[in-house]
């Protein structure tokens, strides 16, 4: 399985590479048969109904993501909750959010997909639109080869689609792949 979709004829410009960041399965692991470590952060969620699994997110990921030198963008269905709960937990600033289209507006091939399936993931087209030709990394637990192929065919800039294992979330190995790709892209 290819780790990235990459086009060599990319407009790089001076804009930093975008890093589209999912939460569930990417920062917040789930579905493993072993107990998850409980992490502590200097942040206490402001709401009584804060996500109970927030302590599964390793707060040390925040500085490591910032160190990549990318423009971080939430690409998650958490929407504003990502900035209210997850960003402070990780020590990140408020990040822009991808505004997802209404599923009823998705007409051709935007099915549930992902997870290595044959359908195009519903996030793929909106992320390519958001990137507008800029170099990007998309880290998610539901990326498949169909998404990589579609990005290769429809995005003029370099793109790394890094699929993570939902049971572990982003690992040192995932970060190493992103660091190496970013170093080669610059």
DSSP letter for each residue of 106-132: --SS-SS--TT-SSPPTTHHHHHHHHT
Q: Which of 162, 98, 161, 158 is nearest to 134 (CA)?
A: 158
Interacting residues of 179 by C-beta distance below 8 A, sequence separation 6+: 68
pLDDT exceeds 90 at position 123: yes
DSSP string covering 43-111: ---SSTT--TTGGGS-TTHHHHHHHTT-EEEE-STTTHHIIIIIHHHHTPPP--B--PPPGGG--SS-S
pLDDT for the residue numbered 3: 40
Q: What is the pTM of this model?
A: 0.84
| Higher-scoring residue by pLDDT: 34, 184 | 184
Q: In the predicted model, is pLDDT for residue 56 greater than 80?
A: yes
Averaged pLDDT of the chain: 85
Q: Look at residue 109 in the predicted model and tell me its pLDDT.
A: 46
**Given this model, what pLDDT does residue 45 score?**
62
pLDDT of residue 46: 59
Q: Residues near 103 by Cβ (< 8 Å), separated by ≥ 6?
A: 110, 122
């Amino acid at each position: 399985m290819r780790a990235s979709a990459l086009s060599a004829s990319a407009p790089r410009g001076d804009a930093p590479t975008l890093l589209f960041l999912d939460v569930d399965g990417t920062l917040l692991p789930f579905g493993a048969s072993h107990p998850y470590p409980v992490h502590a952060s200097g942040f206490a969620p402001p709401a009584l109904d804060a996500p109970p699994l927030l302590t599964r997110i390793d707060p040390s990921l925040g500085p490591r993501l910032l160190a990549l030198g990318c423009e971080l963008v939430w690409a998650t269905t958490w929407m504003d909750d990502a900035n209210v709960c997850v960003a402070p937990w990780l020590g990140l600033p408020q990040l822009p959010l991808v505004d997802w289209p209404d599923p009823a507006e998705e007409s051709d091939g935007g099915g549930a997909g992902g997870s290595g399936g044959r359908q195009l993931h519903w996030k793929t087209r909106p992320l390519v639109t958001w990137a507008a030709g800029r170099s990007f990394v998309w880290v998610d637990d539901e990326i498949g080869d169909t998404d990589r192929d579609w990005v290769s065919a429809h995005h003029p800039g370099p793109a790394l689609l890094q699929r993570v294992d939902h049971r572990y979330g982003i690992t040192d190995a995932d970060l190493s792949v992103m660091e190496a790709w970013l170093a080669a892209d610059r």
